[in-house]
């Protein structure tokens, strides 16, 4: 049985509004870059904006990174992991990134997973205290997650931290309030003012991503807005803090309780025993932050290490395997 010291890197659950803004796409690239350095593992990917084209974009990006494993048996490249996306009417105003056609195996809603179930199942496969959730965009998927049976004990056992990237609580302020009130683990909120202080340098798109003719992250960046431009990095800041919280990139406010106004604005009320904090920008870290943004977001895909399951889950799978009846030898004529 593995000891606690042999735990794999923590599993990161990324619930995003992928494609609504380019920083959610850049945050996914940053996640892959740091996962390639074994700073974390990607536990699951879910999308909280009901636009199937967002799942297609995510699938296209994931297949690009999955290609690092190389052709498998029969020459096939392994398929990307399931992608969860909430169903519903899409925003009538199409974001430029999603207006671009993306090559994808996803053609219909049935090709995707139910987000809250995908998140729950991915958490069940993590060691206790070895999962972090990063959420950008609306609170829809996390709100639905909280409504699942027996979910609070699971969250308490598995999740170390929830990091929220702000900016889109206007459409679902009640859901955001429910999360802040009921979520059982510490929460860090990254506001848009943090992302605005550390924008992603658009000049890097033409150089750092040029190792392939059509890099999906660079293609999405060009599609999002007329070049050249620097993209606000709220989701990037949330992702970087979630994966490297003790590296001194950001500061934190005193403990307190977060609240959401009807206009979607997030504030904090000091409380000695509060589990909520605000992410704070440190201008002195600007050069370090922009450097890691570019280096990790543009990092070449690498094959992930073999997955290590929690001992209890390993034992369960072994017991199930031992229960299977042995195949009887064929009778000789």
Encode pLDDT of 5-50 as tens digits: 577 899 999 999 999 999 999 999 999 999 999 999 999 999 999 9
pLDDT for residue 309: 55
pLDDT recorded at residue 264: 72
Both tokens of 177, joined, read: 């309030």
The helix/strand/coil state of 195 is helix
Helices of type H across the chain: 22-36, 52-66, 96-99, 115-124, 140-146, 151-158, 173-182, 192-197, 205-208, 216-224, 234-243, 286-297, 311-323
- With 70 as the cut, is the pLDDT of residue 310 above it? no
- 327 or 180: which leads in pLDDT: 180
pLDDT digits (tens, 9 = 90+) for 194-222: 999 999 999 999 999 999 999 999 999 99
**Model pLDDT, residue 182:** 96
What does the pLDDT look like over 48-77, one tens digit per residue?
Answer: 999 999 999 999 999 999 876 554 433 334
Q: List the Cα angle 117/159/280 in 5-degree steps.
A: 115
pLDDT confidence of residue 167: 65
- In sequence order, the 6+-apart residues with CB closer than 8 A to the CB of 103 are 60, 63
Look up residue 157 and give its two tokens: 């056992």
Spatial CA neighbour of 126 closest among 151, 148, 153, 159: 159
How far is it, in rounded angstroms, from Cα 279 to Cα 163? 9
Q: Global pTM?
A: 0.87
Q: Which residue has the tokens 């879910």?
A: 46
Give the chain's mean pLDDT: 87
Two tokens at 83? 């992608």
DSSP-derived 3-state class of residue 259: strand
Which structural domains are found in the chain, ordered by start?
Answer: 8-308 (3.90.245.10)
Condensed to tens digits (0 to 9), the pLDDT of residues 237-251 reads 999 999 999 999 999
Kindly tell me if the per-residue pLDDT of 89 is higher than 90.
no
Residues 152-177 have a mean pLDDT of 88
The per-residue DSSP string of 123-159 comes to HHTSPTT-EEEEEES-SHHHHHHHTSTTHHHHHHHHE
How confident is the model at residue 295, as a pLDDT? 98
> In this structure, are residues 217 and 209 in contact, taking their beta carbons and an 8 Å threshold?
yes
CA–CA distances in Å: residue 118 to residues 79, 83, 127: 17, 8, 17
pLDDT at 137 over 70: yes
Distance, in Å, from the CA atom of 235 to the CA atom of 16, rounded to the nearest integer, reads 9
Residues β-bridged to residue 189 = 164, 278
CA distance between the termini of the chain: 46
Helix (H, G, I), strand (E, B) or coil at 267: strand
Give per-residue pLDDT as tens, 266-308. 889 999 889 999 999 999 999 999 999 999 999 999 876 655 5
Judge whether 129 and 158 are in contact, CB under 8 Å: yes
């Amino acid at each position: 049985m593995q000891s606690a010291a042999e735990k794999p890197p923590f599993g990161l659950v990324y619930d995003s509004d992928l494609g609504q803004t380019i920083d959610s796409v850049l945050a996914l690239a940053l996640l892959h870059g740091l996962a390639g350095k074994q700073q974390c593992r990607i536990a699951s990917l879910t999308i909280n904006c009901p636009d199937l084209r967002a799942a297609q974009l995510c699938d296209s990006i994931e297949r690009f990174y999955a290609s690092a494993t190389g052709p498998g048996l029969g020459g096939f490249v392994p398929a990307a992991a399931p992608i969860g996306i909430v169903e519903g009417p899409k925003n009538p105003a199409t974001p430029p990134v999603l207006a671009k056609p993306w090559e994808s195996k996803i053609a219909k809603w049935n090709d995707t997973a139910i987000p809250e179930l995908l998140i729950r199942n991915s958490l069940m496969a993590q060691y206790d205290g070895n999962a972090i959730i990063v959420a950008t965009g609306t609170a829809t998927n996390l709100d639905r997650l909280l409504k699942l049976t027996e979910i609070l004990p699971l969250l308490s056992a598995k999740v170390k931290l929830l990091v929220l990237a702000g900016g889109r609580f206007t459409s679902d302020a009640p859901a955001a309030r429910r999360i802040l009130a009921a979520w059982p683990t510490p929460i860090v909120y990254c506001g848009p003012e943090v992302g605005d202080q550390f924008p992603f340098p658009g000049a890097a798109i033409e150089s750092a991503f040029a190792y392939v003719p059509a890099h999906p992250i660079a293609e999405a960046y060009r599609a999002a807005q007329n070049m050249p431009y620097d993209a606000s990095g709220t989701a990037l800041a949330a992702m970087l803090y979630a994966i490297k919280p003790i590296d001194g990139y950001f500061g934190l406010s005193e403990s307190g309780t977060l609240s959401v106004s009807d206009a979607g604005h997030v504030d904090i009320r000091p409380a000695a025993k509060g589990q909520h904090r605000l992410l704070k920008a440190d201008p002195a870290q600007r050069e370090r932050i922009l450097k890691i943004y570019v280096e990790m977001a543009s990092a070449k895909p690498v094959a992930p290490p073999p997955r290590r399951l929690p001992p209890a889950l390993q034992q369960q799978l072994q017991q199930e395997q031992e229960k299977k009846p042995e195949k009887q030898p064929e009778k000789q004529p």
